[in-house]
Structure 1
Amino acid sequence: MKHVPPVGARIDDRTINVVATVLDKFWLRPVTRKGYTDQRAVRTPDDPMTLVLVKRAVVASDNDVVALTFADPGGAALPAWQPGCHLDLHLPSGRRRQYSLCGDPQDRSGYRIAVRKIPTGGGGSLEMHALTEGDTVTVRGPRNGFPFIPHSRVLYLAGGIGITPILPMVRAAQRLGTDWHFVYCGRSIDTIPFLDEIWQWDPARVTIRLDDEHGIPTAADLLRHAPRGGAVYVCGPPPMIETVRRGFAETGSKNLYFERFSAAPVVDGTAFEIELARTGEVVPVAADETVLQALIKVRPDTAYSCKQGFCGTCKVGVLAGTPEHRDNRLTDDERQSSMLACVSRSATPRLVLDV
């Protein structure tokens, strides 16, 4: 009976043993030890970056929209991104806000975003407008919740500051030789940014619609150039997106992609109460109101960002009651003890929050 050595035993062959010894000493050990580190080799979008503001430019005639370009302080190339990506900015005040990248993905020397000033908002836009060249911010991302898909025929729609994710998409469509058309809507010619860049595109493929000249656009106005069998991309205020959604079925287009720049209105909601466990205060939440809106009334410093249920900034612990989860962020385990205040509601008359 032939003897078979156990697994891992040295084989009784001098030539093989010599080769194995040489390989182990002069190749395997040096390779496995050289430059070893227990740090991750690949950066993730959750890893923070400190970037410096290198260019600030007004990009709308009413002076309410500024384009801000951020770069690595040492001049290193920034992580790659694709049309539709956004950045999470952590501002000096502690606020977190999200802004779409509106530059050129092929230029990795800087990230460009654009911010409209909203005096009656939560203060984030005012803080962004106050930044000056040389200021630094902490950034996470890029992330993509509105991905560009290279369809052969596409209609791009933008309303006001909703132009920001659409700009790099149209540039990508041009490079790919896509059959595209772009419809840009705004209150007036003074309020819509980046017109100087858009005028450089093929004028036969661009339609500018202004409320003060043409009236509020209907679905037929917006979707007149929707390609049969193609796709429609839209970014803008909720009424514009809802108009497009209602009229889309009549176009013959196959795919509709949209991104909101503000929260969608609450629908089919019922009133309930939230109890703030740390103080015992009871706060009513109206049927058409979000938990976040109710919280801000009594806690103006409540943290939030996207207000659409995907960034996670407004996550709050739930100590009692049953949340009605409407977010796209939390895991099943997280939903056992927390909720996102910007979109989720209550399935019980009262929620007790760890606030």
Structure 2
Amino acid sequence: MREFEADLVVRSAVHEADGVLALTLGRHDGSDLPDWTPGAHIDLVLGEGLVRQYSLCGRTGDTDSWRVAVLRAPDSRGGSVRIHALEKGSVVRARGPRNHFPVVASRRYLFLAGGIGITPLLAMINEVDAAGAEWELYYGGRQRESMAFTAELARFGDRVRLVPEDEQGLLDLDALLGVPRADTLVYACGPERLLQAVEERCASWPAGSLHLERFAPRATEPAGAERSFEVVLEQSGTTLEVPPDKSVFEVVREAGVSVLGSCLEGICGTCETEVIDGDVDHRDSVLSDDERETNEVMMICVSRCTGPRLTLAL
């Protein structure tokens, strides 16, 4: 099925916190948008070659609109600046949604948010709360004024703990994660330093307890020295050589094959491709350890092959 892609109109542009702009997007005619599940994100096409991914943070039941919230980052490469220039009535091209951060069924959840990392967790909280699950949210930010959606979260009472750094310091991860809990899933999103600290403390938790979404690629060590390998495109039978200085995505695109890509850093999942044969050197920040072990898909923008040949469903 072809992925949804269309021009959407900005129905509202609201400053949810210092530096955070929330956009509600819909079709020109008000018709329904594709369904989505908590943890999903969409691509916004902001100019020639400028595509960025943003988590959907509205309610899944609002079928005629999508909501995203974007932090204006001082080190932005252009995306957040373009977003913050949008206003009610502006038109922006969107595609998706896709979800590599889904909510797994559990009796109990611990949500950890850092800054704008609250966005995917907000939709998750609404869903698990409606399902009657037990949950807690610990939400850290630089200061209270920079933390988005606190008014919406207030209705949940003491299940939400706001931790502004200038008032209370950093999240106390040792207290929150020091004792593994077999009945609890941990969902975390935020800056890389927070996610690395969460990963370290969850190392002793039961397998599958921790679920993360990154805004930037995590550091990975190549399986070995960069070298060339062959990639076989199953649908056409074409064999291409991937040199050390090019990605599978680049080589396939140069051969005239239509493949989607967006971040080209292994964090958005747009270029996910089915693997038919061959051993993948996974370098993405999307797949879980279990998904990597199955070797069924790869992100062709960053991942490579540990052997001489890779066969893909292209």
Q: Compute the TM-score of the two structures, normalised by the length of structure 1.
A: 0.65
SS of structure 2 residue aligned to 1:81: coil
1:325 to partner: Cα distance: 5.5
Conserved? CA contact 2:222–2:281, under 8 Å: no
SS of structure 2 residue aligned to 1:139: strand
2:128 maps to which of 151, 173, 195: 173
Conserved? CA contact 1:90–1:137, under 8 Å: yes
2:185 is aligned with 1:231: yes
| Partner in structure 2 of residue 51 of structure 1 | 8
1:86 to partner: Cα distance: 0.6
Greater RCO structure (CA 8 Å; 6+ sep): 2
1:249 to partner: Cα distance: 4.1
1:216 to partner: Cα distance: 2.8
2:141 is aligned with 1:186: yes
Distance 1:127-1:72 versus aligned 2 partners, 3 A rule = same
1:105 maps to which of 52, 60, 77: 60
Conserved? CA contact 1:183–1:222, under 8 Å: no
| Partner in structure 2 of residue 118 of structure 1 | 73
1:307 maps to which of 255, 258, 265: 265
Distance 1:344-1:228 versus aligned 2 partners, 3 A rule = closer
For 1:49 and 1:225, how far apart are their aligned partners in 2? Answer: 47
For 1:151 and 1:325, how far apart are their aligned partners in 2? Answer: 28
1:260 to partner: Cα distance: 0.7
2:171 maps to which of 200, 213, 217: 217
Conserved? CA contact 2:43–2:94, under 8 Å: yes
Conserved? CA contact 2:138–2:171, under 8 Å: no
Distance 1:309-1:207 versus aligned 2 partners, 3 A rule = closer
For 2:225 and 2:146, how far apart are their aligned partners in 1? Answer: 37
Distance 1:86-1:310 versus aligned 2 partners, 3 A rule = closer
Conserved? CA contact 1:159–1:184, under 8 Å: yes
For 1:57 and 1:226, how far apart are their aligned partners in 2? Answer: 39
For 2:212 and 2:182, how far apart are their aligned partners in 1? Answer: 18
For 2:128 and 2:265, how far apart are their aligned partners in 1? Answer: 30
Q: Cα deviations across residues 5-46 of structure 1 (Å, max 9, x unaligned)?
A: xxxxxxxxxxxxxxxxxxxxxxxxxxxxxxxxxxxxxxx462
1:251 to partner: Cα distance: 5.4
Indicate the structure (1 or 2) with the bigger Cα radius of gyration: 1
Q: Mind listing any 5+ residue stretches in structure 1 that lack a counterpart?
A: 1-43, 274-284, 286-290, 292-302, 314-322, 348-355
| Partner in structure 2 of residue 263 of structure 1 | 217
Q: Cα deviations across residues 91-115 of structure 1 (Å, max 9, x unaligned)?
A: 1344101000000001112100000
1:90 maps to which of 45, 51, 55: 45
Conserved? CA contact 2:114–2:139, under 8 Å: yes
Q: Mind listing any 5+ residue stretches in structure 2 that lack a counterpart?
A: 228-244, 248-260, 272-279, 288-294, 307-314
Give 1:1-355 correspondences, 5 Å limit. Answer: 44=1, 46-60=3-17, 62=18, 64-203=19-158, 205-223=159-177, 227-250=181-204, 255-267=209-221, 305=263, 307-311=265-269, 326-327=283-284, 340=301, 343-344=302-303
Aligned residue pairs: how many?
A: 264
1:134 to partner: Cα distance: 1.1
Distance 1:224-1:213 versus aligned 2 partners, 3 A rule = farther
Distance 1:312-1:170 versus aligned 2 partners, 3 A rule = closer
SS of structure 2 residue aligned to 1:212: helix
Distance 1:304-1:310 versus aligned 2 partners, 3 A rule = closer
Conserved? CA contact 2:188–2:195, under 8 Å: yes
Distance 1:234-1:80 versus aligned 2 partners, 3 A rule = same
Q: Structure 1 vs Structure 2: percent identity of aligned residues?
A: 35
Richer in strand (by share) = 2
1:221 to partner: Cα distance: 3.8
1:222 to partner: Cα distance: 4.0
State the AA in 2 paired with 1:47: F
